[in-house]
Chains A and B, each alone.
Chain A
Amino acid sequence: MAETTEPVSHYQQLYHDAESTLPGAGIDWVAERRRAAMARFAALGFPGARNEEWKYTSLRPIEKRDFALPKRAGHGLGAPDLAPYLFDEPATHRLVFVDGAFDADLSRIGQLPEGVTVQPLSTALEAGMESLAGHLGRYADPEGTPFVALNTALMSDGVFLHVPAGSTLEWPVHLLFVASEAIDGIGVHYRNVFVAGEGARITAIESFLGLGEATYWTNAVTEASAAQGAEIEVYKLQEEAPSAYHLATFEGYQGADSSVTHHNISLDGRLVRNDVNTALDAEGAYVSLNGLYLGDVRQHVDNHTRIEHLQPGCVSRELYKGILDGRSRGVFNGKVVVQPQAQQTDSDQQNRNLLLSRGAEVDPKPELEIFADDVSATHGATVGQLDEDALFFLRSRGLSQHQARNLLIFGFANEIIEAVKIEPIRARLEDRLVQRLPQSETEED
């Protein structure tokens, strides 16, 4: 076991102090999983620069801060504050979390079909739900990475979403994780568990939203299991505060002929790291990973993905696009593993990056590990600038320099936006993107 470092002992202390009040403290299996996960985190510690997985992303700023657990204090946010971030069309089952805790007043779970569970995780843990026990930590294994371990030890809330075999949840579930002005110095550990039984369908929107200027840390974990023929579609929309640290892990586990589509849209935050992983563990499973990451000023955004082809005849599609401006730094690491028995795998991975300034940088790294012989696996990674010919073409059609620039940037991002099937999310995304585009009309004129 590694020497206990100062940041590790800080979190051990946090856990020790909060152990008896964390949701599910009175439930044996919950308490036991937390305890084991904490021990695991203590053994792993924060990953250092020598850890290949964290080579380009330093966690020193998070280590140094000693983030506290959420306090049970009023946040002062009301429905009008959140109105711009909600979707009413289509209707959603909405769960709002503020500074680490479920807020019933701001939420509207609504009518649920028979047998379907949509519950705040805190409630499910307190109740020690049997159906949760079988899934929590099964796909996002605390034995694996330090942040899944820490999350398992300290998870305060999130959602438990269970759609059993044959059921469909017609509306999307909208999870809104809000960081208020009051969250400075806090680390929140959200945990979501999505379980789609045989043939079931789930659409979930995970919005992470920072409303103030606070410095805080989000350490979120979502685990999703799609049984045979099930479909899960996740839209993760990250709009944290500019000085926020955002670490998020998605772990998918897929049965035969299942489909998982994950949209990973990263717009804000000071330091962002996404791990998006899925295991294709039965024939005919399909996964599609779409990603769009924006960086500006000194933002650092790191996307690591891992697709594990464990069984024959599965299909994976991946497209991640980055737009980096200012002195921002992007990292893309896309691992595709094809195990020996995973014959007839069909896999394609593309990573494209657009650098808008001299100071911006990106490190794209596709990693294909192929152990089967009858496989179609393609990949590509590009880093480019705005096309001068295209800029001239647009200007020759009357568009100003900045209109032309913005249109090209928008066009670059559009491939990812077009994959968003829910119209209000797409509209919102377009809107956000336009706001984020460099040089507004008034600035340059």
Chain B
Amino acid sequence: MLSISNLHVGVDETPILSGIDLEVGPGEVHAIMGPNGSGKSTLAGALAGREGYETTEGSVTYDGEDLLAMAPEERAARGLFLAFQYPVEIPGVSNIYLLKSAVNAVRKHRGEEELDAMDLVSFIRDKMRLTGMDDQLLYRSVNEDFSGGEKKRNEMLQMAVLEPRLAILDETDSGLDIDALRTVADAVNQLRDGNRSFILITHYQRLLDYVVPDQVHVLYDGKIAKSGDANLPKELERTGYAWLTGSGEAEPESAAQEQ
């Protein structure tokens, strides 16, 4: 469903991604790990259509179409979702209003009938159960004065109502306590089905204990330095990333399998 081929992305003439290859099939869960600054968020942003990212080489196809040619809203309408590493605050716009607008914008884009206010609210409330979010957060401004955990749950709620086909979670698990982490994992697991795919960007093995990935990739310096199965994170936990910088420590062997 997603095919990234030799992707090079730069910001302000500075190369950040330098040749990413990644295939994500329907229903697959891929984890992307890697040290800070390795380009994980840049990859996520490039896939979601953030402005200012220059593709200098390579391509991305989504359902066989050129993803990079699409506006961000078109990507959303076609089922691509990004949970932001740093959720954005929108003062003066209530959460419920955002959710309703998003659902209907996407429905409209897909040529589906827009839902009326009543149906929207019950639809959204249904999805809220999945995230364990407090009801009153619906009526507050988007992410304004939300705790870190509430912001992340809110991203999960947006994901749930938009019912994406490919969801990219950028460090949604960072900074969460174990309960909130469980909620994120549950949200993913409940949405997981034979067709819906996930890219989980994470620093920690914790999340991957709950959401078992099909493949794990280590991103370093704008490239995928290693790929493996669900055992790779455990190895990384042990070895750290020092082997990437060539400082002599052993590279994780047991789980590694070259693609």
- A residues whose Cβ falls under 8 Å from a Cβ of B: 387-390, 392-401, 403, 407-408, 410-415, 418
Contacts and interface: CB of A to CB of B under 8 A. Distances in A.
Given A396-B49, A396-B76, A414 B158 contact: no
Nearest to B105: A398
B212 interface: no
Contacts of B103: 398
A355 to B, nearest CB: 17
Contact of A396 (B72, B90, B92, B101): B72
A395 B76 contact: yes
Nearest to A321: B92
15 contacts: A392-B48, A392-B50, A394-B90, A395-B73, A396-B81, A397-B106, A397-B162, A398-B103, A398-B106, A400-B105, A407-B90, A411-B92, A412-B91, A414-B91, A415-B92
A388 B51 contact: yes
A408 B90 contact: yes
A412 B92 contact: yes
A257 B166 CA distance: 59
Interface of B: 48-51, 71-73, 75-77, 81-82, 84, 87-93, 98, 101-103, 105-106, 109, 141, 158, 162
B141 A400 contact: no
Nearest to B107: A398
B75 A407 contact: no
A398 B77 CA distance: 6
Contacts of A410: 92-93
Contact of A393 (B75, B88, B105): B88
Contact residues of A: prevailing secondary structure: helix
Which of A387, A388, A397 has the largest number of chain B CB atoms within 10 A? A397
Nearest to B158: A397
Contact of B92 (A389, A395, A413): A413
B109 A397 contact: no
A388 B93 CA distance: 16
Contacts of A388: 51
A398 B73 contact: yes
Q: Which 4 residue pairs of A and B lie closest in terms of their CB atoms, listed nearest first?
A: A411-B92, A414-B92, A398-B106, A395-B72
B88 A389 contact: yes
Contacts of A407: 90, 93, 98, 101
Nearest to A389: B88
Contacts of B141: 411
A399 B90 contact: no
B160 to A, nearest CB: 13
Contact of A390 (B81, B88, B105, B109): B88
Contact of B49 (A390, A395, A408): A395
A3 to B, nearest CB: 51
A393 B91 contact: no
Contacts of B101: 397, 399, 403, 407
B73 A400 contact: yes
Given A393-B88, A398-B103, 12 more contacts: A392-B48, A396-B48, A396-B73, A397-B76, A397-B102, A397-B106, A398-B73, A399-B102, A400-B105, A410-B92, A410-B93, A412-B92
Contacts of B93: 407-408, 410-411, 414
Contacts of B106: 397-398
Contacts of B81: 396
